[in-house]
Chains A and B, each alone.
Chain A
């Protein structure tokens, strides 16, 4: 499965089980998000631990989630260095915070 959805308490986790979050994967991510958006809880956690490569299309898909879910907090967890570097380069790290673990992301909200 490309994406695994985990619902726990006040947060929903989308675990991206692909090495490349790129132009090929971005449309599937948008479809997945569209199909579950009615059930997403207060906090959407994107677990990108398995993603070793992200391009501007992947970044655009994450921004798409941010736009779609205006009243939902969105966090990235467990990002690999290339993803951290990309978020920093494009300054998206100012809008969507990254955390080492799901627990840290949830604790930051509490």
Chain B
């Protein structure tokens, strides 16, 4: 058994991210990954799992998604989240690097909003974020230097 690789399938729901976190955080801890990096990657994973539920599956409970993660010899942590629902429009990921978090101003409610806040968090906390989409499978691939 390769203890450096994690793979499990889940049922999409509003609370699926909790089940995923309960499984994968101990796996990362077993790999002796720094606790601050585990916390950041837990947040990224939760954001993507919620994104799958809300957007790929339109808030429908029941469809399946897959999570895999592994740490290579160079201490690079990879996380993949695959769904079988609606693909995300390509421009959303392309626009993220130029869409900085807006500093909110009390008197200006337009500054309180942040489009794609969850994905922006993921982009900020990971080293690489990729998204591929085939006819039936959409995959987010996150990479983080864990050494």
Interface positions of A (Cβ within 8 A of B): 20, 22-24, 53, 55-57, 59-60, 63, 66-67, 82, 86, 89-92, 94-95
Contact = CB atoms under 8 A, between A and B. Distances in A.
Nearest to B39: A82
Contact of A91 (B39, B47, B101, B106): B101
Contacts, number: 64
Contacts of B104: 91-92, 94-95
B15 interface: yes
Interface in B89-147: 101-106, 109, 112, 114, 117-118, 120-121, 124-125
Given A63-B112, A94-B104, A55 B46 contact: yes
B134 to A, nearest CB: 27
Interface size class of B (residues with CB under 8 A): 20 to 34
Interface of B: 14-15, 17-18, 21, 39, 42-43, 46-47, 50, 53, 101-106, 109, 112, 114, 117-118, 120-121, 124-125
Contacts of B120: 90
Given A53-B42, A53-B43, A56-B118, A91 B103 contact: yes
Contacts of A90: 101, 114, 117, 120-121
A95 B102 CA distance: 11
Contacts of A55: 17, 43, 46-47, 50, 118, 121
B57 to A, nearest CB: 13
Contacts of B109: 67
